[in-house]
């Protein structure tokens, strides 16, 4: 199976356990790996035979901007399920969701969630 990578999707959102995170918001970064058959698109050079990266990126940005979940685990899962439900082409998706500035005292690192879902696991 072929794989398309979309990396560095950066957007502002309101998911977080603390009340301040859901009110003030923060930056998130998302990387995607999308498994699908791109052999037809490789021959036809037609966007109709693959996925439109623009719509996938827009979907991710919309979900990050409008969701107000307590946990980034839920946001990552929602992104994966939404991509799988958005069309027939993608059969598996990997989402890496990063929270670069987590509000944890004395922690300057990044928290990230990585999950992989297949069509059969989409809700």
Annotated catalytic residue 99: yes
d(CA 83, CA 80): 5
Query: Which of the four pLDDT bands, split at 50, 70 and 90, describes residue 123?
Result: very low
Mean per-residue pLDDT of the chain:
94
* DSSP-assigned letters across all residues of 27-70: EEEEEEEEEE--HHHHHH--GGGS--HHHHHHHHHHHHHH---S
The token pair at 57 is 């990126």
Q: Which of 43, 61, 68, 99 is catalytic?
A: 99
pLDDT in tens, 18-64: 999 999 999 999 999 999 999 999 999 999 999 999 999 999 999 99
What is the pLDDT, as a whole number, of residue 1? 86
Looking up tokens 């992989």 gives 116
Question: 2-121 belongs to which CATH class?
Answer: alpha beta
Judge whether residue 117 has pLDDT over 70. yes
Looking up tokens 């993608």 gives 90
């Amino acid at each position: 199976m072929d794989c398309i990578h979309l990396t560095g999707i950066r957007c502002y959102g309101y998911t977080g356990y603390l009340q301040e995170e859901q009110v003030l918001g923060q930056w998130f970064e998302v990387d995607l790996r999308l498994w699908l058959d791109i052999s037809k698109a490789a021959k036809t050079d037609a966007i109709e035979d693959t996925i439109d990266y623009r719509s996938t990126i827009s979907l991710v940005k919309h979900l990050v901007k409008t969701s107000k979940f307590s946990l980034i685990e839920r946001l990552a899962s929602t992104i994966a399920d939404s991509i799988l439900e958005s069309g027939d082409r993608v059969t598996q998706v990997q989402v890496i969701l990063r929270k670069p500035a987590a509000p944890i005292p004395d922690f300057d690192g990044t928290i990230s969630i990585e999950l992989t879902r297949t069509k059969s696991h989409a809700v």
